[in-house]
Chains A and B, each alone.
Chain A
Amino acid sequence: MSTRVAPFRGSLTSREQVSVFEFSWLAIILIPLVAVLIQVFIPVLIPVKLWFVPIIDLPFLVTIFFATARRNPISGSLTGCFIGLLQDLFAGYNHPLGMYGIALTIVGYLASSLGVKIDVENPGSRFLITFGFFVVEEGVYYGVAHGMLRQALQWSWSHTAISALANAIIGIFVFRFLDRFKQR
């Protein structure tokens, strides 16, 4: 619809000003919903079972995309909260509502805060942002589950790194696709 220009406060990018993108309300509601549904049902629907499918976290990628595109920490937090709670609904047994909600709220806030300062439009920065924030999300989730709920989760650096890598690679293509919904 309209493109606002946010003042550039950092020095991590060579651009003088960064663009703030807007999205239609339909896209804001439907894209996270579809992402969660795909996440829930895609392992059943695809005929070929690929090893990396279960570790792809589409709701997380959508949260990062909206947060970095809108570059507003409040909307990033709210988007992360909404998507996280939606993901919590389907997570099922022994999974209280709010675990993903808290994790994605923090990720959304940090990603939008970082998006104000650096260029998040090129694939390289998107790869690094996705990789880093995936580790942050896993860490927050583990902290909530282990510290607050006393769930006996096991932290695995190797598994987290592989998952982060897979999500970062897939994220490049997902972000490219979602760029179409941006309104300048």
Chain B
Amino acid sequence: MDTFLGRYRNLIVLAAILFAQIVGLAVQVRRPTDQGDTRLIRIWAISAVAPLEKAVVHSQEWVQGLWTNYAYLRGVRRENRELRAEIQQMKIQDARLTEDANMARRVQALLAFKEQYVDSTIAAQVIGTSGSEQSRVLYIDKGSNDGIKPDMAVITPTGIVGKIVQTAPEWSQVLPINDQFSGVGAALKDSRLQGILKGTPSGATTLQYIMSDEKVVPGEQVITSGGDRIFPKGLPVGTVATVAPGKDLFLNIRVIPSSRLDQLEEVLVVTHITEKMPDTKDLGPLRASDILAERLPSVPNKADVDAAGNAKPAGATPAPGTTPAAGAAGAVATTPHPPAGVTTRPATTALGTTKPAAGVANKPAAPGATTANKPAGAATTPRTTAAGAATPTPKPKPAGSAASATSPQTNANGANETASPVKKVIVNNDDTTPAPKKPKPAPEPTPSTTEPPPSTPPSGAQPQP
């Protein structure tokens, strides 16, 4: 027996060590939790070296900053000139893009689309990697003490980086998009084809699940699709590098990430994403599409039509808990009932300043909305001046309207506002949904059946918040 143990001692020890590790592996695989059974020992190990690494990284950054910001300033003047020229070019480009963006936001508002906005971010420093080729996780110097939680998106100004997978009080672990266990909902920017961006063992990123009969060209931009509910839609992901036929009828699309994942130093952790309607205030002058939207027939709200079929005058029966809109000079500004599903802009100040009009319902179709600002069907609403001299302003009524109520519109000086499609400055209610602008069609003489709303504030009254 002793001879046997002595002869095979090395192999027995090797087998024992391997057996112990295999049992350990089996235990970890058998009881998978969110963070794994080894979470504690990992946290201890990483927490032990994280302060040291933070100190080294930050001191290195300080020395680099000292050199680049104070000592090494060669070529700064030339670079400054070039940047100024670039700013001029970008201003020109910005003007065009702003127009396009405004139009897109108007269309989104018309269709009641909601957008996702990155609301708040935390800047973090990359302090370490996994040290393994099989795993490309990163460590950052911000953790749960800073409000970071798992599944938060990590981005840079140039593109997405990954997501948080594990947090400790002082550090967090990031799973980058080129890790082979990563998956990001992505879409091709031009063709709008959607797929999943996955990493490979070699650290490349591929866009998968795009059918092979689709046409994808190298150079096309890839953006986030928002389908993974981690990254907001539309963030840059990368550029298509190569396209080749893959297995199972799918294309093999290799993507070069927009962020330099091998040169990350500072990243932004998205801590809050809001989903809201696009902001359509200050979008510029009216357009033909807005006028067309105004002329669409609308359906009268039954609650606002009395038994005789006449529309109740606007503001006559304000809903509980609502407040009439008031401009800076106390002008009440309300808008006609829009077509179903189309949101309306809330109010207009007489002074031409964009201010929120409190209590104005922008969503007529929403239950419990302000009935004072929701005249039925063709019943238009009055616009009164600060002086309260509401002069009926003729407005066209859609065909088939139950009542012939019109909206008197006067300006702050008491002069009548002619109902013309002249652009007025629009006031949006911040707590309600922004809406497309409503033009005033050509005047049409109508009887002055509309009374000014009883809730019109006196002259000089401040708008209620």
Query: What is the interface of chain A, defined by CB distance below 8 A to chain B?
Result: 36-37, 39-41, 43-45, 47, 49, 54-55, 57, 59, 73-74, 77-78, 81, 85, 87, 89-102, 105-106, 109, 113, 141, 144-145, 148-149, 152-154, 156, 159, 163
Contacts and interface: CB of A to CB of B under 8 A. Distances in A.
A78 B17 CA distance: 8
A48 B131 CA distance: 17
A159 B132 contact: no
Contacts of B175: 93
Contacts of B179: 93
A45 B57 contact: yes
A43 B13 CA distance: 36
Contacts of B128: 40-41, 44, 90
B46 A54 contact: no
A89 B36 CA distance: 12
A97 B28 contact: yes
B133 A153 contact: no
B64 A93 contact: no
B29 A149 contact: yes
Chain A facing B: main interface SS: helix
B458 interface: no
Contacts of B41: 89, 97
Contacts of B22: 98, 102, 148
Interface in B123-174: 126-135, 137, 165-166, 173
B134 A89 contact: no
Given A49-B263, A148-B22, A94 B135 contact: yes
Interface in B66-121: none
11 contacts: A39-B131, A41-B128, A41-B129, A73-B14, A81-B17, A91-B132, A92-B166, A94-B135, A96-B28, A99-B134, A109-B14
A107 to B, nearest CB: 11
Nearest to B53: A41
A85 B45 CA distance: 11
A15 to B, nearest CB: 22
Nearest to B264: A44
B134 A148 contact: no
Contacts of A73: 10, 13-14
A170 to B, nearest CB: 14
A9 B17 CA distance: 26
Given A39-B131, A74-B9, A101 B21 contact: yes
Given A73-B14, A77-B13, A92-B173, A141 B134 contact: yes
A111 B42 CA distance: 29
Contact of B133 (A47, A54, A106, A109): A54
B49 interface: yes
Contact of A97 (B24, B127, B200, B201): B24
Contacts of B201: 153-154, 156, 159
A47 B57 CA distance: 11
Contact of B132 (A85, A95, A144, A156): A95
Contacts of A81: 17, 21
A44 B129 contact: yes
Interface of B: 9-10, 13-14, 17-18, 21-22, 24-25, 28-29, 36, 38, 41-42, 45-46, 49, 53, 56-57, 60, 64, 126-135, 137, 165-166, 173, 175, 179-181, 200-203, 262-263, 265
A14 B68 CA distance: 57
Given A40-B49, A97-B25, 17 more contacts: A39-B132, A41-B131, A43-B129, A44-B128, A81-B21, A89-B42, A92-B173, A93-B181, A97-B38, A98-B21, A100-B132, A102-B21, A144-B25, A149-B25, A153-B134, A154-B201, A156-B201
A106 B60 CA distance: 38
B175 to A, nearest CB: 5
A163 B201 CA distance: 13
A89 B47 CA distance: 11
B25 A99 contact: yes
A89 B22 CA distance: 16
A90 B18 contact: no
B38 A55 contact: no
Contacts of A152: 180
A40 B130 contact: yes
Contacts of B28: 96-98
A92 B14 contact: no
A39 B135 CA distance: 13
Given A49-B262, A96-B38, A105 B17 contact: yes
Given A41-B53, A73-B14, A90-B46, A159 B131 contact: no
Which among A44, A49, A55 has the highest number of chain B CB atoms within 10 Å? A44
B56 A74 contact: no
B204 to A, nearest CB: 10
A49 to B, nearest CB: 5
A77 B49 contact: no
Contacts of A77: 10, 13-14, 17
B38 A163 contact: no
A78 B21 CA distance: 12
A49 B264 CA distance: 10
A81 B21 CA distance: 9
Contacts of B53: 41, 44
Contacts of A105: 14, 17-18, 21
B377 to A, nearest CB: 59
B180 A153 contact: yes
A92 B135 contact: yes
A109 B12 CA distance: 12
B129 A145 contact: no
B217 to A, nearest CB: 26
A5 to B, nearest CB: 19
